[in-house]
Amino acid sequence: MAKPIMAKATAVWLVDNTTLSFKQIADFCGLHELEVQGIADGEVAGGVRGFDPIANNQLTAEEIKIAEENPLHRLKLKFNAAAQGEEKRRGPRYTPLSKRQDRPNSILWLVKFHPELSDGQIAKLVGTTKPTIQSIRERTHWNIANMQPIDPVALGLCKQSELDAAVQKAAKNREAAMTDDERRKLLSTEDSLEMDTEPKIPTAIAGLETFSLSADDEEKEEDLPDADSFFNLPDNDDEDDE
C-alpha cells in the first residue's frame, strides 16, 4: 500500500485535527499504533509541524469524514500523478560522508571475491562510478597501496540480501553466455567425487605395452632351454640296473 509523503508530520496533523483512531492513522501513515499514541501524548515527534494531507492533495475531506464515522474504514491515499515513480528514483546510491572513505576498500573486496560482478552492479551496490571501479581492477588507483578489502555489508554500504541477489544474477548471466562445450566441462562437486580415478602409466615405462619382439628375437627365445629341464633327475630304475 502506498504511503503519504512526510508520514510522521501527516500523522501529527491527523492526531491534532481529526477524531480518527490511532490504528487508522498508523495504517495510513505506515507507523506503529503505539507511535501514533506517543504523538498524541507528546512523547513522539516533539516539535514536528503537522503536514495537512488535504491541502497537499493526499486525502479528501470526504474520505476523512467516512473514516471518522466508521472506525473500521481504512484511509485511501488520493491518486497523485506527480508522485508516480518517486519510490523508483534512479541514480547512484547515497553514501554518508563518514563511510565514503571506506568505499574503495569495499570495491576492492567485491572485485577480489566476486569477479563475476559487473562494474554496473558494483556501482549500484556501493554507490560509486565505473572509472573508480576500473582503476581498482587495473590497480591504477592513486591509493591502491594502502587499500584493504573490506566487506561492504560490514561497512553498511549495502545489505546482504542485495549482495546475494547481485551475485546470483551475475552467475546466471555468466552461465547464459557460456558455450555448450564450456558448460559441459563444468561438473558439480558430487559428480567429480563419483568419477573413477583414471589409472596412469609411469613415464619411464610408457609405451611398453605396445612393444613387440622382432623375428630374430623370437628365434633366440625358442633356442633357450626350458628352465624345468635343469631340474630333471634320473629315475630310480636306472640306478638299480647299474
Model confidence pLDDT, tens digit, residues 35-85:
888 888 888 777 788 888 888 888 889 999 998 999 899 988 876 554 454
C-alpha grid cell, residue 131:
572509472
Name the residue among 102, 96, 90, 153 with its Cα closest to residue 125: 153
Number of other CB atoms surrounding residue 3 within 10 Å = 14
Whole-model pTM above 0.75? no
> What's the pLDDT at 229?
58
CA atoms within 13 A on the CB side of 191: 5
Model confidence pLDDT, tens digit, residues 148-187:
999 888 888 888 888 899 998 888 877 666 565 655 554 4
C-alpha pair distances (Å), 65 with each of 57, 71, 80, 111: 16, 11, 20, 57
Domain ranges of the chain: 7-86, 97-176
CA distance 32 to 41: 14
